[in-house]
Structure 1
Amino acid sequence: MDLPRHHTIREGDLRICNPFTPRKLATLGQVIKLRAGDTLLDLASGRGEMLCTWSRDHGVSGTGVDISTVSTDVARLRATEFGVADKVEFLHGDAGEFVAETPVDVAACIGATGIGGGVPGTVRLLERSLRPGGMLLVGEPFWRREPPDQETIEACHAERRDDWRDLTGLVTVFHELGWDLVEMVLADGDGWDRYAAAHWLNIRRWLDANPDDELAPAFREELTTDPLSYVRYRRNFLGWGVFALLKR
């Protein structure tokens, strides 16, 4: 049980594997008013940057769960680097099957709602680990503009227009599920640029070092096509944000 090798190569040394900058991540921790001693569960925790930085800066403790062995190992090293290894743990496993033994103050899934089959299923999964009155954090893409054609939809990593909602539709879903939206922090153009362009440099450096690898032709094609696809489509049509929810 692991992520495919091409995913790890593409992410390279990225610390935050979504369009958030460190400043945005710090803003999120501030605006949801984390308190020392709060407990947090992060499903599909990636490289652990959110849990590690918030433990360092706010005194929270918690658990991250991710299917990637590489990301889990990197997260553990980061916890040691930040001096919070006694407050946070990172588990390798299927986040879509994980429920905390002890209910937590904050349950999060940032940019990986596929673990629950979409937003509704992920909200229900997170709620199973949440104490009464606790907060959910859900990170999800949304349409910034209506996609005009199928080419745009596919360039934004969707198969159908309805794979993503617009911002109004996403907030409506939260309300229909019985949750109040109480905060949100949205990615901006700089965050998208840093995330997308970092992939291109990682791919190019890897190609230079591994020209005969079996993955090289596919990565060569991606490096040729993805920058244009990004500036033409994703940067203009796709938004992304983290939404803080309290049960109504």
Structure 2
Amino acid sequence: MTFNASLHAHSDHPVAAPLSEANTERLLRRAVQGRTRPRLLDLGCGRGAWLHRALTAFPQARAAGVDVDAQALALARAEAEALGVADRLTLHETPAAEFRAGEGYDVVLCVGATHAFGGLPATLEAARRHLAPGGVAVVGEGFWEREPDAATLRELGSTREEFGDLAATVARVTEAGWAPVHGHTSTLGEWDEYEWSWTGSLTRWALDHPGDPHSTEALRRATAHRDGWLNGYRGTLGFVTLVLRPVPSPGV
């Protein structure tokens, strides 16, 4: 079986984005507010952290998650059973860009997974397809806090054009026909907590399993990731999570 580094790296921070628990909950409540029986869809749900929190906080909610990682989905299912919400959660093992729902959803989430669609514009198109009338999308995307240098771009495997600054990122959203009704820009502290959790969880697993054939690879990846963060993109790559409503076309 292929070593799933991401699964181990997110064990201490299952929300796979630089967001604190408090801000994750606040964004969910902003998205769900006023809905008595909300239906949620997470495109690129991983181990289901957003959906577990929503189903626990809102007993009348129902949710669906989509991801290609079978191991992550198995953990999502097990956690839902442990929380007593499995009967209200449906999981689909399929590429998010290929998922076709039979219904519209009140809240469509894609936080830190826009790469599954090839970028922000295609993600917004997909969210619109899956929204029920009056629904909202919650989209988390990277942006440049400052101009990235060549070393940072190499470390991230990115290009300067992949992201804009914060203003340009919001402009991309509004130009695509969406209106931000709330948002959160991740702080440096949230980034640090996320990265220390990512690298620390993977390092701990490697040290706790010295006889595992993947332990050396895990330790190498954790070390490389930590170096790339501390000596590269820390303070350069930002992250914004937006709660969005679609703007009706003229005449609609």
163 and 135 in structure 1: CA distance in 2 versus 1, 3 angstrom threshold = same
Match of 2:118 in 1: 117
1:125 partner SS: helix
Letter in 1 for 2:15: I
Deviation at 1:206, TM superposition (A): 2.8
Match of 1:207 in 2: 206
In structure 2, distance between residues paired with 1:181 and 1:166: 16
6 and 133 in structure 1: CA distance in 2 versus 1, 3 angstrom threshold = same
Match of 2:6 in 1: 7
Deviation at 1:94, TM superposition (A): 1.5
1:54 matched to 2:54: yes
1:81 partner SS: helix
63 and 145 in structure 1: CA distance in 2 versus 1, 3 angstrom threshold = same
Q: For residues 128-176 of structure 1, give each alpha carbon's deviation from its aligned partner in whole angstroms, at most 9, with x where no partner exists.
A: 11112211111111111122x2112233x24211112211111111111
Match of 1:21 in 2: 20
In structure 1, distance between residues paired with 2:54 and 2:108: 14
Letter in 1 for 2:45: S
Match of 2:98 in 1: 97
Deviation at 1:126, TM superposition (A): 1.6
In structure 1, distance between residues paired with 2:28 and 2:116: 23
Match of 1:231 in 2: 230
Tell me the TM-score normalised to structure 1 length. Answer: 0.89
Alignment gaps of 5+ in structure 2:
248-252
163 and 111 in structure 1: CA distance in 2 versus 1, 3 angstrom threshold = same
Identical columns (%): 29
> Paired residues, what number?
245
1:242 matched to 2:236: no
Matches within 5 A, 1:144-183: 144-147=145-148, 149-155=149-155, 157-183=156-182
2:108 partner SS: strand
Work out whether residues 6 and 215 of structure 1, in 8 Å CA contact, stay in contact via their aligned partners in 2. Answer: no
In structure 2, distance between residues paired with 1:91 and 1:15: 19
Deviation at 1:218, TM superposition (A): 4.1
Work out whether residues 199 and 223 of structure 2, in 8 Å CA contact, stay in contact via their aligned partners in 1. Answer: no
Query: Aligned Cα RMSD in Å?
Result: 2.2
Match of 1:88 in 2: 89
Deviation at 1:209, TM superposition (A): 4.0
Match of 1:40 in 2: 40
In structure 2, distance between residues paired with 1:3 and 1:246: 39
Deviation at 1:3, TM superposition (A): 8.1
2:87 partner SS: coil
Match of 1:221 in 2: 220
Letter in 1 for 2:41: L
In structure 2, distance between residues paired with 1:84 and 1:221: 37
224 and 131 in structure 1: CA distance in 2 versus 1, 3 angstrom threshold = closer
In structure 1, distance between residues paired with 2:30 and 2:216: 44
Letter in 2 for 1:87: R
Match of 2:138 in 1: 137
1:17 partner SS: coil
